[in-house]
Each structure stands twice: as C-alpha cells, then as structure tokens.
Amino acid sequence: MTGFAVVGADHLHVFSIVAGLVGAGARPVAHAELGDLVAGYASWQAGSEARTYDDILDSDDVDLVVTVGVPAERADVAIAAIEAGKHVVSAKPGVTTRSSLDRLRGVLAGRPGRPWTVLFTERFENRAVARAVKMAREGAIGEVVHVIGTGPHTLGADSRPEWFWDPARSGGILVDLASHQIDQFVALCGTDVLGGGVEVASARVGNVSCPDHPAMQDVGSLTLLAPGAVGDHRVDLLSPSGLPTWGDVRLVVIGTEGTLEARANVDVAGADGGEHLILTDQTGVRRVDVSSDPVTWAVDLLADVDDGGERLMTQDHVLTVCDLALRAQEQASSWGIS
C-alpha cells in the first residue's frame, strides 16, 4: 500500500487531494509544515504522524509526498522528495520560477515514469472537461481547430492567505490559474506537441479590481499555438458574487466537424448542477451525460507510483504545461492599452 506524507498546506486543495488518495487506497503516514491546518488535518487523518520534512525524506514508509504549500515553495519540496527517490503530487502551480523548473528537469532526468505530478484539477476532477478532452482526442469533432478556455474565479479577498496577493509567491495569475487551461489545450492537441510543439503567442496580465494590492494580478489572458490549432484563454478573479459557484469555467473546442462546450461548474440560467457537456455535430445538438464517468486520477496516480507508469499523464506533459505557464507569465504584457 502506498504511504504518503503531506508537506505544506496553504490551500484547501489539500483536503480534496488527500481525500482522493485515501479513497483510492493510499495510507496517510506523516505530515509536516501544515501551518494553521495541522490540527484539523491531524484529527481528520488520525493515522498521520507529525514529522520533520527531513525525517519524511528518510522514511521508508513514505512513497509519495503531497505538497499544497505556498506555491513558490512547492518546487523545493518536490525537488528534495524526488532526490530522495520519492514520488510527488503537487497542487497547481507546481513551480513558479524558471530556475526551479530547470532544477526539476535536472532531478527528473533519467528517472522513469512520472515522479513529479501536478494535479490540474479543472480537468482531472471535472467529468465534463475530462470527457470533452477525451471526445475531442477520439475525433468526435474532427480535427481540433480552436479552443477557448476560461477560468474565472471568485476573489474571496477575506479568506485569502498573504501569499495570494504577491505574484512572487503565487507565481502570478497565469502560472497559478491558467495552468489549468494550458493543461487542457496541451491535452487536446495530443502527445505529438509535448516538449516544444506548443508556443505562447501572447500573454497579458492586469489588476483591475484590487487597488489595495498594486502588485496583484486579477486578470490574465494568453494565446497558445499548436500545429493547426489556436487556443485563446482567460483567467480572472472577477466572478460576480451572485454566481452560485466559484467560477463559470468553460472549455469550448471547435473542430472541423463539430463543437464541444463544457460548462464545468454551472450552466448559467440553464440546467441544474455542474459538469455539463454539450456536443454539436453533423447530427444535431445534444447534452452528453457524464454523471457516471469515474474520476480516476487518484487510482491512476497510485498505480503509476506503484509501477512507474504514466496512466494519469506523462512527465513530459507536466513539464510542457509548466514550461508554457512560465513562458506566458514571463512574456506577459500589461492589460489592454496602458
């Protein structure tokens, strides 16, 4: 049975990731650096033991390190774990600087499988987005021509930690949020584009609603190019408070023979619930029922840890997505005409 340790928890994503792993049969062994969440975590996962990170790195009963700390600190956690021969699953973003990505590439070189996983939950935990990608890859809409991916979020200013307001610690809005959209675009384009087949054509970031935090980025966009395909993506922290969820996340895929539209969390002024998928093709318009699709990221991840496989995604996919997110952030110009 795979044993895991949680190292760093500055985001509530820790609960969904751990719940997934435990549900798939992994054993919570240890935890470190959980900050204010330590008491809640320790009572929730009573079998998990407080250890230092150094002890965790030396622990034979820890196969997998889960890191959900401050984004800028996750890469160092991951690098140390990989150097110690362990697997890592990181909340997104997995890495916030180019130098950290280079160091990650270094420690990953020669290691089989996918020691470093970044969990792009907007696809791996959403049945509508996952199915849209799967159907597009299987040719349900012909060749993929254009993708529009939008990831609006609630600002939630009152409940945000200090790092949230500092792009140097969050990675910036494109690294922090748009990595989901980049993951989806890369997945839609197929494995041929991994390792350099996708380009960042342009990117922008801005601050339109947070005057008290001048460095903050609350809106961002980027255009990605692949052979035969263009992807226009937007993320923001502008979800209106009247929206009954944190964000009206959409993925629209235009193919030569049809279109797919995933409405991940809400179908505004439409059907109830989340995970909506609408297919329009030569035969008509219909909703695709994804409600019984299994969410398999944790099962796949644990199988990959066990045998060095790449069921969930490849190491190359993780590196490609993170590289593109950093490129977009690095070359982002200011929002609109300044």
According to CB under 8 A, which one of 12, 227, 289, 306 is a site residue for a second copy? 227
CB 92 within 8 A of CB 184: no
In angstroms, the Cα distances linking 33 to 72, 76, 111, 293, 333 are: 14, 13, 27, 35, 35
Query: Which residues inside 183-222 make contact with a second copy, applying CB under 8 A?
Result: 197-199, 201-202, 204, 206, 208-209, 219, 221
137 forms part of the interface with a second copy (CB under 8 A)? no
According to CB under 8 A, which one of 22, 84, 145, 295 is a site residue for a second copy? 145
- Residue 178 gets which letter from DSSP? T
323 forms part of the interface with a second copy (CB under 8 A)? no
Return the closest-CA partner of residue 246 out of 156, 157, 154.
154
234 forms part of the interface with a second copy (CB under 8 A)? yes
Token digits for 89? 């699953």
165 forms part of the interface with a second copy (CB under 8 A)? no
Helix axes 98-108, 315-331, angle to 10 degrees: 160
CB 100 within 8 A of CB 75: yes
255 forms part of the interface with a second copy (CB under 8 A)? yes
According to CB under 8 A, which one of 232, 275, 304, 323 is a site residue for a second copy? 232
d(Cα 44, Cα 181) in Å, to the nearest integer? 32
According to CB under 8 A, which one of 162, 192, 269, 292 is a site residue for a second copy? 269
152 forms part of the interface with a second copy (CB under 8 A)? yes
According to CB under 8 A, which one of 110, 211, 244, 294 is a site residue for a second copy? 244
- Residue with smaller CB distance to a second copy, 240 or 294: 240
281 forms part of the interface with a second copy (CB under 8 A)? yes
Question: Does the N-terminal peptide bond of residue 93 adopt cis geometry, omega within 30 degrees of 0?
Answer: yes
Minimum CB distance to a second copy, residue 238 (Å): 6
> Residue 211 — φ and ψ, nearest 5°?
-65, -25
Return the closest-CA partner of residue 96 out of 113, 76, 122.
76
Minimum CB distance to a second copy, residue 133 (Å): 18
Minimum CB distance to a second copy, residue 197 (Å): 7
CB 201 within 8 A of CB 224: yes
By the 10 Å C-beta count (0-12 exposed, 13-18 middle, 19+ buried), 286 is classed as exposed
Minimum CB distance to a second copy, residue 323 (Å): 16
- Residue with smaller CB distance to a second copy, 114 or 234: 234
Residues that bind a second copy (CB under 8 A): 141, 143, 145-146, 148, 150, 152, 197-199, 201-202, 204, 206, 208-209, 219, 221, 223, 225-230, 232, 234, 236, 238, 240-244, 248, 252, 254-259, 261, 267-271, 278, 280-287, 335-338
